[in-house]
Amino acid sequence: MRKYILALALFLISTISFSQFVSGNVFVSSTLCQYNITGQWSDSTLNIAGNLQFVYDSAIVAWKFIVPDTASQIEICVSPVDSCPCSTYCMTQPISNLSFNFQFCNITKTNTLENEIRIYPNPVTNYLLIDGILKIDEIYLLSLSGMVTKLDRSLKRHNIDLDSGIYFLVINSQNSTIRKKIIIE
């Protein structure tokens, strides 16, 4: 499905007769709210602009987009959904910087999912225990090289058979995402 959407976006943009495209990433850290993401690119030389299409890449936990290499700048906005108490935040950057990092609506709550969860032991030798979450939608380990290892979301004890190193444990639960640095020995 992602390849289809990316191919469709590429086709729509390519009908304008651009020869080269570059891709970029949008990383959004949001502890409280769900959000929508929108964006535009503009080419000051040709005096044209277009909307960005985003495809979520769970391997790098980011939104990917493509733009013509003639674009001079990109604007990306992250907007709250429903009754979120946060405001829309926009960022404009030149085409030379294709990585956007948003700290969106990181408001501390007194009873956050992160305060309820226990992840141990860390460093990990053979197994990892996760307590305190009633419902896990998705759970995986992400290596620094981008390799994703999915874990069984129904288990509390996870046998770990990975190379030693630093990983990030990513847990999606009840519209919240937790990322914890894990060291595997």
CA 55 to chain centre: 10
Distance between CA atoms of 149 and 59, rounded to whole angstroms? 9
Per-residue pLDDT of the chain (185 residues; tens, 9 = 90+): 555 554 444 444 444 455 588 888 888 876 566 788 888 988 878 788 888 888 888 888 888 988 888 888 888 888 877 666 677 778 888 888 788 777 766 554 444 566 677 888 989 988 998 887 767 888 889 888 888 888 888 888 889 989 999 898 888 877 777 888 889 99
Distances (CA, A) of 1 to 12, 21, 97, 142, 150: 17, 21, 27, 22, 20
* Domains, the chain: 2-103 (2.60.40), 113-184 (2.60.40.3080)
* C-alpha span between 48 and 45 (Å, rounded): 8
Pairing of strands 21-29, 99-103: parallel
Tokens found for residue 18:
């651009």
Rounded Cα–Cα distance for residues 101 and 69 (Å): 21
